[in-house]
Each structure stands twice: as structure tokens, then as C-alpha cells.
Structure 1
Amino acid sequence: MPLKHMLLYREMAEEQQTRLQNAVDSMVKNLERENIRKMQGRMFRCSAQCCENEGASIQQVHHCIERCHAPLAQAQSLVTSELERFQNRLARCTMHCNDKAKDSFDSGLKEAQVKSQLESCVIKCAEEHMSLIPSLTRKLKDALAEVDKKTQ
């Protein structure tokens, strides 16, 4: 199957991909606003207290600031790894669609049928992943709350 056909899913299911991207963006903004931002405030206040300790050495202040930054770094890493896992699953799903389309094309199915099959498969991938967002959101909120609980 020519390369242009293998990349068709990007054009065909654009609306579903946009909806999915908007849903993921909305989830991330919500997590940032409701969870991460509070942790950032605590991190900066904690870091400021480290700097106000006039009796501490440079190394002690540095160590104190690092301790203040650790929970936020852990939270950001957690969100990043979950989003990467989500994107990898979506990529595997669409790759599967491409493979099925290529196999269908190679077995002699007409191009219009292959396009239709590919579009249907990619739309299904997007819909399946859209349905995962609420549970992913809950999982991340719970994990962030757990990280946050350790810092209070």
C-alpha cells in the first residue's frame, strides 16, 4: 500500500482526533488548575521558607529547596507518564488499523473499501480512547491527591 494510503487515517478521522485532543487538553488543564497549581504554591512557599533560614548553609538551603520541589516533580512525572501511556495505546490502535488496511489493500480489496474500513477503524480507536478519559482523569486525580497528601 502506498505511503499516502497508510497516512489517510490522519485526514479521514480528523474530527474525532480533534475531539479526542480537546478532551485530553481539557483534562490536563483541569488537573493543572485543581491539583498541580496548589502544589506549585506550596512548593514556592516551602522554598521561600528554606531561603529565610539564615542559620542554614548553602548546601542545607539547596537540599531544603530540592525537598520542596520533589512532590511537584513527582506529580508532573506521573501525569506525563500516564499521558504517554495513553498516547502509545492510541498509536498502537491506529497502527493496527493501518496494518489491517494494508492487508486488505494487498489482498485485492478496492481502494474505496479500504479507505472506508480504515476510517471506520480509526474512528473506533478515537471513540474507545475517548471513553477512557474519565477513568484516566480519576486515576490521575487520585494519584495526585496521594502525592499532595504526603506534602501537607
Structure 2
Amino acid sequence: MQEEKKSLVESGLKKLVSDVDKSFLRKMEEKMYLCSAKCCESRDSSYEEVRSCVDRCSAPVMNAQNTVRGELEYFQIRLQRCVNQCHDDIQHKMSATPDAEEVERATKLFDSCAAKCFDDHVSLLPGLLQKISQKVQGKVT
């Protein structure tokens, strides 16, 4: 069951990244490439001037990508903390020398707790998409 829940989170994240890419990043990248191409048109510019121009063209895309990456990393850290808390809670409840029945019971409790973490985090994805979109939109201009 845990693998199914994990797969749900992964597919939700893939969809989120695809939505952000199609809605914002591709247009930003198009502008970046067109801007960078213009930087290279001048045969009178020095190497440093061209590099500086290209860097200026790239900055909005790099900032947007860093924003997306940072939000996704934070989401994954939060999910991992939730699963780790499940593990810690189960470990705390187990005896020093658990028998097979106690291990089986603990495994079921852990699976249930971890499944709740995955479900809770899947429900956070629409809000995460909105947050990323707002942050990236601010970098489009």
C-alpha cells in the first residue's frame, strides 16, 4: 500500500512540474534564448560583454528554476519528516525485544501512519502549485 501512496505523490509532483513548465518556464526560456541570441548579434562586443548580456538574459529563468527546485525540496523534506516521525513513534512504542506479533503490529501501524503522510501531502499539491506559480509569475517580468 505504501508503494501505491508513494507513486501517487510522485505522479502528482510530475504533473505539478509539468504544469509549471508549460505555464511559465517554457515561455521564460523562449525569451531567454531570443535575448541571448541578440547578445551574440553584435560583432563589436567583447567576450565579457556578450557573456554578461547572456547572463542577464538567463537570470530570470535561473531564479524561477531555483524557486521551483527549492519548493519541491521543501515539500519532500516535509514528507520525509512525517514518515520519520511515524518511524520514531512506532520505535518508541515497541519493547526492547519485540516478538513476531509485536513486529507485525508495529509494521501495520507504521504503514498506516506513512500512508496518511502520503495522503496528506498529496492534498497539499494544489496549494504548492499555486504557491510556486505565484512566485514564478513574479519572476516572469
How far apart, in 2, do the equivalents of 1:96 and 1:41 lie? 43
Deviations 1:125-144 (A, max 9, x none): 00111111011100101111
| Partner secondary structure for residue 45 of structure 2 | coil
Q: Find the partner of 1:94 among 78, 83, 87.
A: 83
Pair 1:67 & 2:56 matched: yes
How far apart, in 1, do the equivalents of 2:20 and 2:95 lie? 45
Unaligned regions of 5+ residues in structure 1, if any? 1-11
Q: Find the partner of 2:35 among 32, 43, 46.
A: 46
> How many equivalent residue pairs?
138
How far apart, in 2, do the equivalents of 1:123 and 1:110 lie? 20
Amino acid corresponding to residue 26 of structure 2 in structure 1:
R
How far apart, in 2, do the equivalents of 1:32 and 1:44 lie? 16
- Runs (4+) of structure 1 exceeding 3 A deviation are none
Percent identity, aligned pairs only, is 33
Provide TM-score, normalisation by structure 1.
Answer: 0.86
Alignment-derived partner of residue 134 in structure 2: 142
Alignment-derived partner of residue 79 in structure 1: 68
Unaligned regions of 5+ residues in structure 2, if any? none
Amino acid corresponding to residue 98 of structure 1 in structure 2:
H
Q: Find the partner of 1:19 among 8, 21, 33.
A: 8
Deviations 1:52-75 (A, max 9, x none): 123322211111000001111101
Pair 1:30 & 2:19 matched: yes
| Partner secondary structure for residue 106 of structure 1 | coil
Pair 1:127 & 2:116 matched: no
Amino acid corresponding to residue 141 of structure 1 in structure 2:
S
